[in-house]
Structure 1
């Protein structure tokens, strides 16, 4: 996803280019299984220090349900906002010295945010990073809604006499109570029952 911004860099601050994206990004990352094209709108705006890229993009990624371990398709949507800096002047082709750059010095260290010598702005790495950030941490079959995984419930029903333990039930089963504290535990249990009523 490369854009020649030489003409845009010659224009005054505020000049804009807009693009409708339908890009094949299946090879963007070997650890991601992309299920569809990258779709969305991208805007490149000339700033006093370079080019500001903004956009709303979406795609779909194959993941694994964290409950039933079945493969699922996860829609990924994200907003992109990044400032890119040119390495050379457009008119003269002269390399810019670091002190000539406007903006944060940290931006100069990130190669993904630099416009190369041929004035090509490449958003591929920024898109890859944003896809990873937009993926849910714990993808599930019903990742967009509340409740248990329907595939897991079916799997457990097929297994027979197996049930899921809630966290508090699991802790209670693992806990061995010292007989000296048993009387206090009974008081706690009875007060819990009174609070529920």
Structure 2
């Protein structure tokens, strides 16, 4: 997912290139487990400050279900748009300081958003970050209702058996912190 943009940077604002992607991302992040290649399209558009990258891709990742803890295949559709700025001018090789561009200082100095001095635009890091952003916080398997998932019910029984001894312990003798004792009057008796 590296693109030589030297010729694009020589062209006028508005020039663009479109590339189809079919990339193996198994080496992208050790914590990501892709089921297949990343497929999609990338558009590179020449803008006043460098290159605007618009990407839309699909990938299927193997993740752990948040309920039943079984591995599931999670299809993701990701779309992002990022502005990349060159480190050097193509024609002269002169270093371009971040102060010569408009924008947030953090964005101008973000290494993931720089076109290197050989005019190679690398989108690996931006793709990795956007895949993580597209993943749900708690991935779920195909069962909408957790009570219908056989793996969830099995795990629930295992947990209840493992913690059954805790429920049997008597809780009659509870030490109450004297600082909280006044609040007990507000709690209705059960």
Same fold (TM over 0.5): yes
2:149 alignment counterpart? 150
Q: Is the 8 A contact 2:68 2:155 kept in 1?
A: no
1:110 alignment counterpart? 110
Q: Is the 8 A contact 1:141 1:151 kept in 2?
A: no
**TM-score, normalising length from structure 2?**
0.79
* 1:104 Cα offset (Å): 2.9
Q: Which structure 2 residues correspond to residues 67-78 of structure 1 after superposition, within 5 A?
A: 67-78=67-78
Q: Which structure 2 residues correspond to residues 132-143 of structure 1 after superposition, within 5 A?
A: 132-142=132-142
2:52 alignment counterpart? 52
Aligned partner of residue 146 in structure 1, secondary structure: coil
1:108-150 Cα distance to aligned partner (Å, 9 max, x none): 22100000000000000000001111111111112xx732262
* 1:151 Cα offset (Å): 2.9
Q: Distance in 2 between matches of 1:75 and 1:14?
A: 33
**TM-score, normalising length from structure 1?**
0.76
Q: Distance in 1 between matches of 2:105 and 2:137?
A: 32
* 1:99 Cα offset (Å): 2.3
Give the gaps of 5 or more residues in structure 2.
161-170, 172-183
2:188 alignment counterpart? 181
Q: Is the 8 A contact 1:49 1:103 kept in 2?
A: no
2:38 alignment counterpart? 38
Q: Distance in 1 between matches of 2:98 and 2:81?
A: 23
Q: Is the 8 A contact 1:16 1:43 kept in 2?
A: yes
Q: Distance in 1 between matches of 2:114 and 2:12?
A: 19
Give the gaps of 5 or more residues in structure 1.
163-173, 186-197
Q: Which structure 2 residues correspond to residues 18-33 of structure 1 after superposition, within 5 A?
A: 18-33=18-33
